[in-house]
Chain A
Amino acid sequence: MFIPFFYKLKEVGIPVTPTSFLTLQRALNHGLVNSLDDFYTCARAILVKSERYFDLYDQVFAFYFEGVPLPDNQGFEVDALARSMLDEWLKDPKQLSDALGIDPDKLKHLTPDELIEYFKERLQDQKGRHEGGNKWIGTGGTSPVGHSGYHPEGMRVEGESRNKSALKVAAERRYKDYSGRGPLTQAMMGEALKRLRNLVPTGPRDQVNVDETIYQTMKNGGEIELVFDRSLRDRLKVMLAIDNGGWSMDPHIPVVQTLFDYARSQFKEVKTCFFHNTIYDCVWEDPARYRKPRLIDEFVKMDPETRFIVVGDASMAPYELMARDGSIHIHERSGKPSIERLKFIADTFPHAVWLNPVPRQMWGYTHSLMTIASIFPMFELSLDGLEKAVAHMMA
């Protein structure tokens, strides 16, 4: 029963499993589901395991039982694709123009925004012409532009009022704010960051070491000798500095955001700060980068054992790194070029790494990136890169 419904759920990207579907059948057999309303709640509780998919579920439910057409998700997808195409374009205009069969000279004069618009049009075209096998529209695979996820900035939840039919409720899309089609592979980051957990025995001696106690007691001829160990306590402090400025980092921000969402629960203390392109006199604690500046000079006061992790693409114009007045912020005029600041941070925190979302094979093409890589040990923002970064920080 309801097999097409199940497959529709799967099709729109809700991770449903056959086991849970069988559970649903079991629930139906128990006679607990006697109305469409019951079915709505029951199937949701059993099949959908995250509130992020509640909205999608509502849409499919309304579609399947009422015929409310499924909204077109294309708009957003095209948006994301266009952005990643822009990114590709900036890296290597020639490759992209070859692939799309467009004239690079024609696009030279366009601003980034105009470029995005242009790519969007191209994508719509392409979608029309090539159904199915089009390698540009594919989600994933070898194509340079893939489907990227989306995290709603803030969640706003209103409650629900109850005396409605499930269909009405479903069509209302109450869970819209929770919907976020994030790529699930990001879950691996939590796993990788977990390896950062550095269990250093620094707690009070309050745990009985049973083996040692027995041994010492025997040695004592049966007179009890209690041996205590220090309890393990996670003392690791982490400072995350994230480049959230400008559109050059935009495609990577959802990935980075997941990364530090995970990170927060993994450590005793995680401080997050933000910067734009590179670090000058200060970093900011608020993502908008203007309310809560934090002077770099004050980092000296922090625990040098803090793991300092920078996340950024390290791609910028050379002067931003080298010039004495490279900062776009008017108050950052101490006269120290960014490169000095970065060296200072690397000196202050021996366990500092730079995670770069740019794939390693592209690193050689950017001057600023290579310069920063000579200051900070740089690793790719991938599961492998993270593992290496963690190994480096624990060394």
Chain B
Amino acid sequence: MTPKREKNLQFSGANRYVLDPELAGIVNISMTLEMPLLLKGEPGTGKTMLAHAIAENLGMPLMVLNVKSSMKLIEALYQYDTLTRLNDSRFGDSKRDVSDIDAYIKMGKIGQAFTADTRTVLLIDEIDKADTDFQDDMLDVLDQMQFDIIETDQTVKARHRPVIIITSNAKKDLSDPFLGRCNFHHIAFPDPKMMRKIISVHFPDIDNSLAQHAIDSFYTLREVEGVEKKPATRELINWIRALNADKDFRAKDLVKGAVPFLGVLFKKSPDYEKVQTLSPRRRFF
């Protein structure tokens, strides 16, 4: 790939993020086309981290909109603070001008991204939590890159089109009009080789055999059938941290099938019990 450096910033990974070249290509294409990028994938595949990495790598400020189920689109755009205005009009002791509605309008995350002085990275996290109306309405805003403030009859236009990353955990698909306006990528769970790289990024001076054995046991444990919530990257990193902190622990124990700190990996009690009863048996094989 020969990037056009004069106009387009190219995303090429960040300090603590192991970038998959395929994903880098998709991010760069989405940035050039100025289209939102929709990311799906298992929890722990680094969907949210990607936005952080882009922001860090390109030196752009990051806006995070955490979508909640009860959220209305307007909350993401702006808020009209009626209570403060009412209060000011009653007591008149603030420096704000009560007759100026603008003084009482606060930008939401999307609004902030639109009005920022520089190009920003806008992360819309877990969009699937909101209902489909929210998603469709938001796409209109992102498509037009503008929205109206009803109270003042103003139109807020994006000064710089933000780089938009949208994540979704859902198994179900989002609505068609939504998908039509996004680029799509599904992040697969990293394979052991990739995981090794991720681990060495997080623990630069980790003991080689420890990393290898930990990753081996981790992938074996992921294979256990009937587990409700499989451990993801985050759990593995925490687990290795725990193993590192324990002075009595030796990497060889892992080979024997011992799994200390199981609670770090499995957080649901049925899962925990299931794996616990299973792991001593593995020693005999």
Interchain CB contact under 8 A, B32 and A210: no
* Chain B interface extent, by class: 35 or more
A48-B184, A158-B188 known; A27 vs B29 contact (CB < 8 Å): yes
Does the CB pair B82–A159 fall under 8 Å?
Answer: no
Question: Do B86 and A224 have beta carbons less than 8 Å apart?
Answer: yes
A98 at interface (Cβ–Cβ under 8 A)? no
- Please choose the segment from B93-101, B116-124, B171-179, B251-259 that sits at the chain A interface, where 4 or more of its residues have CB less than 8 A away: B171-179
Contact B172 A32 (CB under 8 A): no
Which of A37-45, A134-142, A353-361 sits within the interface?
A37-45
B204 within 8 A of A: no
B164 to chain A, nearest CB (A): 14
Q: Name the interface residues of A40-75: CB closer than 8 Å to any CB of B.
A: 41-42, 44-46, 48-52, 54
Flag the segment in A17-25, A247-255, A316-324 that touches B. Answer: A17-25
**Minimum C-beta distance from A365 to chain B (A):** 35
User: A261–B87 contact, CB under 8 A?
Assistant: no
Chain B neighbourhood of A210, CB < 8 A: 82
A267–B40 Cα gap in the complex (Å)?
A: 22
- A262 interface neighbour in B38, B87, B172, Cβ under 8 Å: B172
A158 touches B184 (CB 8 A): no
Q: Is the CB of B86 within 8 A of A157?
A: no
Please count how many residues in chain A sit with their CB below 8 Å of the partner chain's CB atoms: 51
The answer to whether B112 has its CB under 8 Å from any CB of chain A is no
CB distance from B4 to the nearest CB of A (A): 6
In the assembled complex, the CB of A11 is this many whole angstroms from the nearest CB of chain B, namely 19
Q: Are the CB atoms of B188 and A224 closer together than 8 Å? A: no
Name the residue of chain A whose CB is nearest to the CB of B184.
Answer: A49
Q: Which of B229-280 contact A (CB under 8 A)?
A: none
A161 at the interface (CB under 8 A from B): yes
Within the complex, the shortest CB–CB distance from B93 to chain A, in Å, comes to 13
Q: Chain B residues near A159 (CB, 8 Å)?
A: 188-195
Q: Of B20-28, B47-55, B59-67, which stretch is located at the interface? A: B20-28
In the assembled complex, A187 has its CB within 8 A of some CB on chain B: yes
Contacts of A106 on B, CB cut-off 8 Å? Answer: none
- Annotate B9-36 by CB proximity to A: 1 below 8 A, 0 otherwise: 0000000000011100110111011010
- Asked if B83 and A161 make an inter-chain contact with CB atoms under 8 angstroms apart, the answer reads no
Q: B184, A50: Cβ atoms under 8 Å?
A: yes
Complex Cα distance A15/B70, Å?
A: 30
Complex Cα spacing A158 to B189, Å:
6
B28 touches A160 (CB 8 A): no
Contacts of A15 in B (CB 8 A): 176
| A36 located at the interface, meaning its Cβ lies under 8 Å from any Cβ of chain B in the complex | no
* Chain A to chain B contacts (Cβ below 8 Å), 16 pairs: A19-B180, A31-B4, A32-B1, A32-B29, A38-B1, A45-B29, A49-B180, A157-B189, A158-B188, A158-B191, A160-B191, A162-B22, A217-B86, A217-B90, A265-B128, A265-B170
Measured CB to CB, the nearest residue on chain A to B178 is A49
How many Å lie between the Cα of A162 and that of B25 in the bound state? 13
Q: A49-B173, A50-B184 are in contact. Are A23 and B33 (CB under 8 A)?
A: yes
Residues of B within 8 A of A191 (CB): 132
